Structure 1
Amino acid sequence: MDRRADLDRLYALLGRLDARVGGARRLGDCTGYMDWPDRGVYLFLAPGETRAFSGARRVTRVGTHAVSTGSSTTMWDRLKQHYGTGAGSSAHPHGGNHRGSVYRRRVGEAFVERYALHDRYPDWGTTRVPADRERSEVRDEEYPLERRVSAFLRDQPFLWVDVDDEPGPDSDRAHLERNLVALLSNYDRSPVDPRRSDWLGNYARSAKIRASGLWNVEHVAESYDPAFLDAFEAAVERTGSV
């Protein structure tokens, strides 16, 4: 298994995908009115993060949705959780809910660590609001950081592939996500495409994010099956512009 060669093939496929969909989209430019596939896998590419030798934009997060049997979550549903609230939100415009998006939570944690904001956001990252505090109080307190996270995530370009299979842990989407993360991860292995020193993920609380160079935790320490690239290529060829 030649990981560098497999990464080169993956990024060549992403180049083809970019051409098929008319270019990566910034999350901030997207709406639910666009013709998104119901189900798929998406890959975020951080601005300024590039591959070591080619200069191509580097993948920094892989995600999917509806990997629980019976789930009805669409791809846009998941992207909207990362996007956060819109301008019309009466209480917290351009904010969001990091308890509904692991991506938002991890990015917020990195901001807290980088800028020593622990005292300002003591409950950030808790699964539930502590029982001795009002939910509205905590949401108001966390709103400035939610806005900061929204601004960061909405600037991220991403690509996607259409994979319309039934929800479940053994779905094709789950298979692709798992193998994409494992291939891209630098966790506990010789780094390929090392991360920039100022990449925000270097301040993540999770050692797996810092070491892998991805905003993913699950699957970063796993091995991958090179044959998954054939399935990913087939997904690229059936994906069109929104």
Structure 2
Amino acid sequence: MSRQRDLDRFYGLLSDLTERVSGTRKLKDCTGYMEWPTRGVYFFLEPGTTRASSDQLRVTRIGTHAVSAGSSTSLWDRLKQHYGTGSGSSNHPHGGNHRGSVYRKRVGEAIIERYGLHDDYPDWDARWSSIERDRSVVRDEEYVLERRVSAYIREQPFLWLAVDDEPSADSQRAYIERNAIALLSNYQQATVDARSDEWLGNDSRSEKIRESGLWNVNHVDEEYDPAFLDELRVAVDETDPV
């Protein structure tokens, strides 16, 4: 019951955040010219997948950035990696680089599994260092799937939380991210807010994604600290619209 209570509080705080920033956004409507906070945490929501107890959209991906000392990656830098390339890209407009975004990689894997596209994308899971073929050829072959991944991710509503602390594995952002994932994860525990049968993550190669109901792998098998919700409350109150 305590986890259910904490989940209700978590989603209540997201409702407050949604109101505070004047609604969710979709990456397809976003640019780097918007006044994004320098650092923060983001929450992607799944269209059409609601909580068991309400019509509130369920969170399916949580992330942050710059958790290594000295990192200069901004919140928009990370969101842009998930977004992919724009219409102005000369070779691969509206594609992307899944080797620079684990979120894109995992979504692409699930599309491959769902539609049996293994022969079309033999190198999707491979690092560049292990691919002996010409990179430009591989990029051309993977372009169609990169576009499908972009189309999927850009339609996900998301919220952002301004937490402007220094890059560190012990940062407040990392603390909120880690505990939010652990709280929402259904991996190896009683399922709360089950994902729908249509959720693409059901076709993931990762058991942790399939069972947790999140596009995350790290922290899904950890215990959460309920005190993080107090930190989340403070961050919500300090987040402004972009």
Query: Per the shorter chain, which TM-score range?
Result: over 0.9
Per-residue CA shift, 1:197-240, capped at 9, x if unaligned? 11000000110000000000000000000000000000000001
Point out where structure 1 has 5 or more consecutive residues left out of the alignment. none
Opposite residue 47 of structure 1, the aligned amino acid is: P
2:67 aligns to what? 67
What is the rounded CA distance, in whole Å, between the counterparts of 1:225 and 1:118 in structure 2?
Answer: 40
What is the rounded CA distance, in whole Å, between the counterparts of 2:110 and 2:78 in structure 1?
Answer: 21
Is the Cα contact below 8 Å between 1:123 and 1:129 reproduced in 2?
Answer: no
Question: Secondary structure at the residue paired with 1:41?
Answer: strand
2:95 aligns to what? 95
Opposite residue 5 of structure 2, the aligned amino acid is: A
Identity of aligned residues (%): 67
2:223 aligns to what? 223
Per-residue CA shift, 1:135-175, capped at 9, x if unaligned? 00000000000000000000011001100000010000000
Is the Cα contact below 8 Å between 2:123 and 2:131 reproduced in 1?
Answer: no
Opposite residue 122 of structure 1, the aligned amino acid is: P
2:55 aligns to what? 55
1:129 Cα deviation after fit:
5.5
Is the Cα contact below 8 Å between 2:45 and 2:60 reproduced in 1?
Answer: yes
Opposite residue 136 of structure 2, the aligned amino acid is: S
Q: Are 2:202 and 1:202 equivalent residues in the alignment?
A: yes
Per-residue CA shift, 1:92-115, capped at 9, x if unaligned? 000000000000000000000000
Report the TM-score when normalising by structure 1: 0.99
1:177 aligns to what? 177
What is the rounded CA distance, in whole Å, between the counterparts of 1:147 and 1:80 in structure 2?
Answer: 14
Is the Cα contact below 8 Å between 1:129 and 1:138 reproduced in 2?
Answer: no
Question: Secondary structure at the residue paired with 1:90?
Answer: coil
Aligned length: 242
What is the rounded CA distance, in whole Å, between the counterparts of 1:131 and 1:69 in structure 2?
Answer: 30
What is the rounded CA distance, in whole Å, between the counterparts of 1:132 and 1:14 in structure 2?
Answer: 46
Question: Secondary structure at the residue paired with 1:95?
Answer: coil
Runs of 4+ in 1 over 3 A off after TM superposition: none
What is the rounded CA distance, in whole Å, between the counterparts of 1:131 and 1:78 in structure 2?
Answer: 25
Report the TM-score when normalising by structure 2: 0.99
Question: Secondary structure at the residue paired with 2:41?
Answer: strand
2:165 aligns to what? 165
Point out where structure 2 has 5 or more consecutive residues left out of the alignment. none
Is the Cα contact below 8 Å between 2:61 and 2:215 reproduced in 1?
Answer: yes
What is the rounded CA distance, in whole Å, between the counterparts of 1:200 and 1:60 in structure 2?
Answer: 11
What is the rounded CA distance, in whole Å, between the counterparts of 1:31 and 1:46 in structure 2?
Answer: 21
Q: Are 2:166 and 1:138 equivalent residues in the alignment?
A: no
1:27 Cα deviation after fit:
1.1
Question: Secondary structure at the residue paired with 1:60?
Answer: strand
1:16 Cα deviation after fit:
0.4
Question: Secondary structure at the residue paired with 1:4?
Answer: helix
Is the Cα contact below 8 Å between 1:129 and 1:135 reproduced in 2?
Answer: no
What is the rounded CA distance, in whole Å, between the counterparts of 2:86 and 2:160 in structure 1?
Answer: 22
